[in-house]
């Protein structure tokens, strides 16, 4: 962009790049910008952000050469421009239907076609979760974009029509091995052999006394009882009284 500054060019960007500060700075370089705006950006006028609009209505505010507006279509659309005002102009969609839209929206869609379609298609299969780190979100977003671009290329050059959902499934099927067998049934835990289980005394502490553990079998019956014996073969080496807990516990886990 360096060689394009100070020459009166117009820059069209989507909501992932636009913000008030950048628009103001570009304007100081005699470079205009127009595009959609993310709702989480700073310096969006409060009355614009909170406005409840009916379909076709719009609201806008102007400050320091930067114009910010919101228009209600099927959903709210925030937009920003340093080149156009909030004039409502007629626009035709791919079905040849005529609709009035704010001029910044019309200009944005004119120079960046397909952005709305892309966002709409990708929004059907969201991957973002609050618990996912930002670097993973970035990686997933890149993969998501690659899949969508591959879908567009397939439709264009194959001459075949396929829903985006089916295209994604075909990728999954091709990535899986040919002899894969999917099963949702939980795996049964391996059966234990009686000869592998026998009581072992707990280790001694520094004073030479045998340490004690809470009996897992007694605890399951809401009885607090400590024991010097445990089973080192079972997961977690549970403490177990010699009689009758050791035998009862291992009968419960179904020994051979």
pLDDT for the residue 21: 93
Is there a single domain that holds both residue 133 and residue 152? yes
Query: Does position 76 have pLDDT exceeding 60, yes or no?
Result: yes
Q: How many CB atoms lie within 10 A of CB 89?
A: 13
The answer to the question of residue 188 being in a domain is no
Q: What percent of the chain has pLDDT over 90?
A: 23
Same domain, 96 and 24: yes
Residue 48 lies in a domain: yes
From 89, 113, 137, give the residue that closes a domain.
113
Yes or no: say if 35 and 15 are a contact pair by the CB < 8 Å rule. Answer: yes
Domain boundary among 113, 140, 157: 113
> What SS3 state is found at 177?
coil
In a domain, 184, yes or no: no
What percentage of the chain reaches a pLDDT higher than 70? 82
The reply to whether 165 and 200 lie within a common domain is no
Residues 200 and 248 grouped into a single domain: yes
- What lies within 8 Å, CB to CB, of 190 at 6+ separation is none
Q: Is residue 102 part of a domain?
A: yes
Looking at 86, 113, 140, the residue that finishes a domain is 113
DSSP H helix total and E strand total for the chain = 8, 11
46 and 68 Cβ atoms separated by less than 8 Å: no
Quickly list DSSP for 197-236.
Answer: ---EEPPB-TTSPBP-EEBHHHHHTT---EESEE-SSSTT
**Residues 42 and 72 reside in one and the same domain:** yes
Higher-pLDDT residue of 105 and 132 is: 105
- Quick one: 12 and 94 in the same domain? yes
Judge if 82 and 125 occupy the same domain.
no
Give the count of domains, the chain.
Answer: 3
Task: Please state the rounded mean pLDDT for residues 49-68.
Answer: 92
Q: Based on the domain organization, do 133 and 218 belong to the same domain?
A: no
pLDDT tens digit string along 156-209? 888 888 888 888 888 888 888 766 555 555 555 555 555 567 788 887 777 777
Pairing mode of beta strands 66-72, 88-92:
unpaired
Residues 15 and 40 in one domain: yes
Q: What is the mean pLDDT of residues 58-72?
A: 93
Residues spanned by the domain of 168? 121-175
Domain annotation covers residue 79: yes
pLDDT at 98: 82
- Residue 27 has what pLDDT? 93
DSSP string, 29-93: TT-EEEEE--TT-TT--HHHHT----TT-EEEEEETTEEEEEEESSSEEEEEESS----EEEEE-
Residues 97, 137, single domain; the answer is: no
If one compares 185 and 92, the residue with the highest pLDDT of the two is: 92
The arithmetic mean of pLDDT across residues 223-235, rounded, is 85
Residue 182 lies in a domain: no
Burial of 194: CB neighbours in 10 Å, binned 0-12, 13-18, 19+:
exposed
pLDDT tens figures, 111-170? 776 555 566 566 666 666 667 787 888 888 888 888 888 988 888 888 888 888 888 888
pLDDT at 256: 42
Residue 238 scores a pLDDT above 80: yes
Query: What is the C-alpha to C-alpha distance for residues 161 and 144, in angstroms, rounded to an integer?
Result: 20
187 in any annotated domain: no
Token pair recorded at residue 121: 């298609």
Q: Are residues 81 and 104 in the same domain?
A: yes
The mean pLDDT of the chain is 82
Does 72 have pLDDT greater than 70?
yes
């Amino acid at each position: 962009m360096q060689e394009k500054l100070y020459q009166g060019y117009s820059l069209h960007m989507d909501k992932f790049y636009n913000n008030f500060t950048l628009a103001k700075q570009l304007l100081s370089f005699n470079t205009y910008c127009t595009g959609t705006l993310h709702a989480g950006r700073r310096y969006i006028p409060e009355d614009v952000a909170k406005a409840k609009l009916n379909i076709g209505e719009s609201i806008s505010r102007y400050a320091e050469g930067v114009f910010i507006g919101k228009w209600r279509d099927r959903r709210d659309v925030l937009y920003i421009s340093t080149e156009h005002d909030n004039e409502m102009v007629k626009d035709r969609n791919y079905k040849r239907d005529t609709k009035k839209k704010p001029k910044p929206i019309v200009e944005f869609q004119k120079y960046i076609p397909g952005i709305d379609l892309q966002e709409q298609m990708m929004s059907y299969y969201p991957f973002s979760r609050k618990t996912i780190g930002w670097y993973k979100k970035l990686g997933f977003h890149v993969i998501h974009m690659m899949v969508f671009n591959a879908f567009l290329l397939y439709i264009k050059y194959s001459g075949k029509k396929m829903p985006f959902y089916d295209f994604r499934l075909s990728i999954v099927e091709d990535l899986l091995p040919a002899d894969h067998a999917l099963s949702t049934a939980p795996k049964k835990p391996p059966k234990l052999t009686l000869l592998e289980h026998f009581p072992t005394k707990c280790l001694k502490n520094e004073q030479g006394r045998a340490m004690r553990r809470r009996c897992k079998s007694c605890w399951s019956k809401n009885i607090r009882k400590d024991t010097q014996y445990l089973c080192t073969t079972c997961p977690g080496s549970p403490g177990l009284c010699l009689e009758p807990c050791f035998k009862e516990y291992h009968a419960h886990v179904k020994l051979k």
